[in-house]
Structure 1
């Protein structure tokens, strides 16, 4: 009985939604490139850019505490239906100014696919209630 219970507990620990293919620990290091303008984690506050807690699942330009500082382009993207998912965030982080033309974000983007995967995995740890769309219908 103990072996079965242990197996069930172990299965449940690893059976959550599959989030990001990167490594959160490496993403924490990559996020330092973002930290001049963005904060994440306990006591995170808006800086030049919005804080990134609960980012996945959020409407672009939709953080109420930052609403007056978003670019018109970012607000328009959100109004048009842009939701930050792993996929949309990956595309944005590769080239923010191409993905949301007119964004105020001056950052040119992360250089490698691995950096992008890692930072998305890191940010996912601060979006504990996020369930990818394909997972929400199961």
Structure 2
């Protein structure tokens, strides 16, 4: 008979120990989750902030170098070659004053025009997020290099011009599509 009571006693002990271990496991899980949401500022987050600041500084230096390089290319750009390159743009965009939109907004007066600002054109959310800026030479260079990287989620299907010289030629031509073109860099 002792084996029967030993079994009951053993089952009861196992049940109590199981409940205790389960409770401890639950409490520890809650603590881990709580710490992950309310971790105080630590040296790790300070290091991450410093790394982000360094990345931002490198990115700004890289952008400045890219802009300088593009300005040099723009100073020697060929409007004639740009006129040839714009033909691929004209599949989706008008380039003549007052011609209005096609699939994309018109490109007449695009240089220094506010981004996502053509009245009546339904821009993608990606491009609307850039509103507030202008289509400067530098911004057009970034856009024409890789529209999908410039505005992730853009609906423009153009894959970009990888040649800086071709981008400069095209931007120089687009600059002529205005009553008062912007002065090109010297």
TM-score if structure 1 supplies the norm length?
0.72
1:128 to 1:107, Cα distance in 2 relative to 1, 3 A = same
CA 1:108 to 1:99, structure 2 compared with 1: closer, same or farther past 3 Å?
same
Compare CA radii of gyration and give the structure with the larger one. 2
**1 CA distance for matches of 2:138 and 2:179?**
17
> Residues 3-38 of structure 1: CA distance to partner in whole angstroms, max 9, x if unpaired?
xxxxxxxxxxxxxxxx75411111010111111111
Q: Which runs of 5+ in 1 are unaligned?
A: 1-18
Maintained 8 Å contact 2:175/2:182:
no
Query: How has the CA–CA distance of structure 1 residues 116 and 75 changed in structure 2, closer, same or farther, with 3 Å as cutoff?
Result: same
By relative contact order (CA 8 Å, sep 6+), the higher-ranking structure is 1
User: Any idea what the Cα deviations from partners look like across 1:40-80, whole Å, max 9, x if unmatched?
Assistant: 024532111000011011111101132xx2101111211xx
Instruction: Report the equivalent of 2:115.
Output: 60
The answer as to whether partners of 1:37 and 1:49 remain within 8 angstroms in 2 is yes
Matches within 5 A, 1:25-64: 25-64=80-119
Q: Which 5+ residue runs of structure 2 have no aligned equivalent?
A: 1-73
Q: After TM superposition, where is structure 1 displaced by more than 4 Å over at least 4 residues in a row? A: none
What RMSD over aligned residues (CA atoms) do the two structures have, in Å? 1.9
Q: In the comparison of the two structures, how many residue pairs are matched?
A: 111
Q: Deviations over 1:70-108 (max 9, x none)?
A: 101111211xx3210111101110000101111111111
